[in-house]
Structure 1
C-alpha cells in the first residue's frame, strides 16, 4: 500500500493528532492535491497528515500483471484492515499515542464511516463528505431511492441552481429526440453526424444515447463547483466554474419544432464535459482493437486484459456496493429507465466473474440502525451534489451529525478555501473543525483521566 506522510513540522507527539485521509477509488495523489481542509488546518491541531491509498487503485495494485487472478482480495473489509494496520504501525514508529481524525469524500467518506464503526479504538472521528451510505437495498429504515441521483442532476439544471430557464424542458426534448432517432439505422447515422461522433459504431441503441448523457451530466453535477477545477476530471483538465450552467447555455433559446437544432444544442452542451480541453474535433475516438486471447500468458496480453476490464471500482460495485440508478422521466430530465437486477448480475458475471450481491452492504454495515448506534461522524452534503440524495441529511444523534452545504457540489467543503466559496461552505468547515477539536479534547481528557486513575 502506498501512503504519504506530510507536514511533520506541525506534529506534536504530546498534544497533537493525526489527520488521516481514507483513500478511495483512484490514485491517492488526486486527494492529496485537493483536500485542503486537512492541509490548511493541520498546524492548528499539531497534526501529522497521512494520505493512504486504497488497495487495487493508483500504485497500490498487488500481484502485478496477474492482478485479475486475485480480485477476491479487493474488498472494503481488506481496505479498512490496511488502514488500521497502517495507523497502528505509524503510532508505533512515532512512539506516541495521539488521536486520529479521518477525512474522506464520496466512497472515501463511506469507507471512513464504516472504518469508524468497525475500528473505533483506532480512529477517533471522521469527516465524511458526500458519502452515499444509506441507499443500499434491504434497509427497512431507509428504502433505497434509485431515482434520487438523477433528480439532483436535474435540479442543477434549474433556474433555482442558476442555470438557464429553458434548460430542463429543452434538454428533455433533445434527449427524447435523440433516443427516437437511435431506434433506426438511418436515424443513428444522422445522429452520429449531428453529435460529431468519431466512430460510426458508437451508437448501437438508445441505451448508448442515455449513457452518453448520464455520464456527462452526472459528472457536471458532481463537479458543479463555483470556480474552475480539474478534480472531477481526475486532475487532467479544468471544468469551468459552475459547469452545469455552461452546459445549459446551449438550451437557453426557443427551438420550436427544430429537432436538428435541439440535437445540435445537445452536442454543444455535452462538449463542456467531453471537450473540456477544447481541442477535440469529434467525440469518442475509436479505441484500438485488441484481440483478447485468454491462453496468451505474455505480459503484453495480460496488460490488454487489465485495460479491457477498466477501473476496478466496477468489481466493488458487483461484489459489495450495488447502487443502481434509475430515472422516471418526470422528476428528472432523462428518459424513463428502470433498475434491472438480473441484467446487472449478468454483466457483473461476464465482466468480473462474480454475481451481484444487491443486499450485502446492508447486511455488512447495518444501514440506518447501525449509524444511529455510531458516534463521532460528520456527514456533509451539498444540494448541488447528486450523491446527496443517497446520504445522511438529518442528524441521527448528538455525535452523528448532518451538515448541510447549500450551493455545494461533491464534497466541496473538503477542498482548499477559495474566494468564490459560498458562505455555506465556509460555515460547514467551521462546524466540522469544531467537532474535530471536540474529539481531540475528549481523547486527551479521557487519557488524563485514565492516567490519574492508574496513579
Structure 2
C-alpha cells in the first residue's frame, strides 16, 4: 500500500506514497547505496532526557530522545555539526558517511545526530493517539533542538565560541533553516537541503515538475504517459477492461467491486501516478532508495513493442512492485485508513505521524488539480483532506487545513525567511523545489540551485558518477561553511 509522496530524504524502506512518495529509512534513508569502508570509530548511541511540552516544561515527565555522537574528526575547539532527524528513525550510518562527514573532516567538527520526536525510538507518549499527537509539531521539534544544544554544551564541555552548524534534508531541511531563524543564539548557521518553506494545501505544482522532468527524457515519454492514463480510464468503463486492469496492474482486490467507490478509484490513480513521482523525486540520487530512473521508466513508456500505452504503464507498475518486494498493488481506501488509524508504536513505521503533521501544519498534498493534468483529475485536494478527517478528526476539514497552513507560513515566513547564515539548496529535478527558496536577491538568504539533480542529492556520499553540477555544488557548500565559520 502507498500513501501520498513523502518529502523523504532520511527515510524508511517501505513503498508508501504521501505526500506518500517512497520512503526509505529515516527521511533520507542511508547516506549511500555503495559499500563503504568503515571508519575506525563507531558512533556512540546515547539518550537524552527531553521535555514533552516546551510551552509548559514542568507539567509532564521527561522522555528519552535518541541521538548519536561521533568525535572521529573532532579536534578540541572545532565546530559542532548537528544533523537534524526527520520523519523516520535515525540511522548511525549517517555518522560515518555522507557529504557532511567530509565537511566534518575538513573542519575538525564534533558530529551529533538527533532523532525527531515521535519517530523511530524517540517515543514521548504511550501511544500514537490523536490526543498525544498534539505534541508532534515542528515548533516543539525546534525547541527540542534548542534544548539539546544547551544540554550538550554542558555535557561535553563545549565553549560558547564553538559554532554550531545544522544540516537537514527535506522536512529536516526546513527545520535546519527554521532553527537558525528561531534560535540564532544557539545555531550559528545551517545548510538547508531540499527543504520546502512554503506550506501549501493543494501542492499541484508537484506533478507539474514531474511532467517537466519526464519531458527532459523526451516529449514522446510525456505523450505516452498521457495516453496510458486516458486508456486506463477507458478500461474502467467495461467489465473486460476492468479484468484486464486486475491482471495487468496486479491489483490485490478486483477493481470491478470498487467501480462505484470514488475513494478507491482515486487511490488507484494516485498510486499509479506515484510510480512516476517516486522515480523522479529520487532520480539518480546516491541513495539506497533511488532505484529506477527517469530513463528506465521512459524507456518502457516509449517502447511500442511492449504493447499499447496502458500496457506499458502496467509494465512500469510491475517493475516498481518487484523492486519494492510487493506482490500486488493495494488501492483499497478503507484498508489504508484502518492501517493509518493504528496507534501502537512501531519504530520502523511513521506514516501516521507524518500524515498528522501534514494535516495539522503543512498540507503538501500532491494533487491532480493542475491544468491539463498528465495523470487525469482523479485525486483532487478533497481526496487528501478526506484522509485527514477519516484518520484523525472530522474537524480537520478544508477550513481547518487553510487555517493551520496559513499559521505555518506566518510563523516561519514562508518564502521570505528572516534568516542569515542559511544556504538554501535545491535540485532542478526534485518536485519539492517548487515550495522552496531557489532564487534570492537578498544576500542574507543565499541559494544554490543544482541543475539535473533530485531530492537531497547534495547530501549523499559523493560518487565518481556525480554530475559536474553536483560536484561543483558540494564544493560551494564547503566554501559557504568555511565562510560562516570564519565570520
TM-score band by shorter chain is 0.7 to 0.9
Is the Cα–Cα contact under 8 Å of residues 88 and 348 in structure 2 kept in the other structure?
Answer: no
Aligned mates of 1:402, 1:94 — CA distance in 2: 33
Out of 415, 419, 433, the position equivalent to 1:374 is 419
Out of 243, 247, 250, the position equivalent to 1:196 is 250
In the TM superposition, what is the alpha-carbon distance from 1:4 to its structure 2 partner?
3.4
Q: Could you tell me which residue of structure 1 aligns to residue 36 of structure 2? A: none
In the TM superposition, what is the alpha-carbon distance from 1:441 to its structure 2 partner?
1.2
Aligned mates of 1:135, 1:13 — CA distance in 2: 40
For the pair shown, which has the larger CA radius of gyration, 1 or 2? 1
Is the Cα–Cα contact under 8 Å of residues 182 and 209 in structure 1 kept in the other structure?
Answer: no
Q: Could you tell me which residue of structure 1 aligns to residue 329 of structure 2? A: 283
Out of 342, 347, 367, the position equivalent to 2:387 is 347
Unaligned runs of 5+ in 2: 1-63
Change (3 A) 1:346 1:199: closer
Higher normalized helix content (fraction of residues)? 1
Change (3 A) 1:280 1:325: closer
Aligned mates of 2:269, 2:431 — CA distance in 1: 17
In the TM superposition, what is the alpha-carbon distance from 1:182 to its structure 2 partner?
2.6
Unaligned runs of 5+ in 1: 138-144, 233-238, 293-300, 443-455
How many pairs align? 407
Out of 205, 219, 232, the position equivalent to 1:178 is 232
In the TM superposition, what is the alpha-carbon distance from 1:2 to its structure 2 partner?
3.7
Q: Could you tell me which residue of structure 2 aligns to residue 80 of structure 1? A: 142
In the TM superposition, what is the alpha-carbon distance from 1:186 to its structure 2 partner?
5.0
Q: Could you tell me which residue of structure 2 aligns to residue 431 of structure 1? A: 476
Structure 1 residue matching 2:190: 3-state secondary structure = strand
Aligned mates of 1:275, 1:124 — CA distance in 2: 45
Is the Cα–Cα contact under 8 Å of residues 129 and 379 in structure 1 kept in the other structure?
Answer: yes
Equivalences for residues 54-93 of structure 1 within 5 A: 54-65=116-127, 67-93=129-155
Which one is further off, 414-423 or 185-194? Answer: 185-194
RMSD: 3.3
Is the Cα–Cα contact under 8 Å of residues 290 and 304 in structure 1 kept in the other structure?
Answer: no
After superposition, the C-alpha distances for 1:352-397 in whole angstroms (9 at most, x for unaligned) are: 125233222112212233x1x3211111111111111111110242
After superposition, the C-alpha distances for 1:40-86 in whole angstroms (9 at most, x for unaligned) are: 22121111111111111111122233655411111011111111111
Tell me whether 1:147 sits opposite 2:204 in the alignment: yes
After superposition, the C-alpha distances for 1:396-437 in whole angstroms (9 at most, x for unaligned) are: 422311101111110100111001110111111111111111
Tell me whether 1:263 sits opposite 2:310 in the alignment: yes
Equivalences for residues 42-441 of structure 1 within 5 A: 42-65=104-127, 67-97=129-159, 98-136=162-200, 146-158=203-215, 160=216, 163=217, 166-184=220-238, 187-200=241-254, 204=259, 205=262, 206-225=265-284, 229-231=287-289, 239-240=291-292, 243-254=293-304, 261-276=308-323, 282-284=328-330, 303=344, 310-327=351-368, 333-336=374-377, 339-340=380-381, 344-353=384-393, 355=396, 356-358=400-402, 359-369=406-416, 371=417, 373-441=418-486
Aligned mates of 1:114, 1:174 — CA distance in 2: 42
Give TM-score scaled by structure 1 length. Answer: 0.80
Is the Cα–Cα contact under 8 Å of residues 271 and 331 in structure 2 kept in the other structure?
Answer: no
Aligned mates of 2:475, 2:285 — CA distance in 1: 19
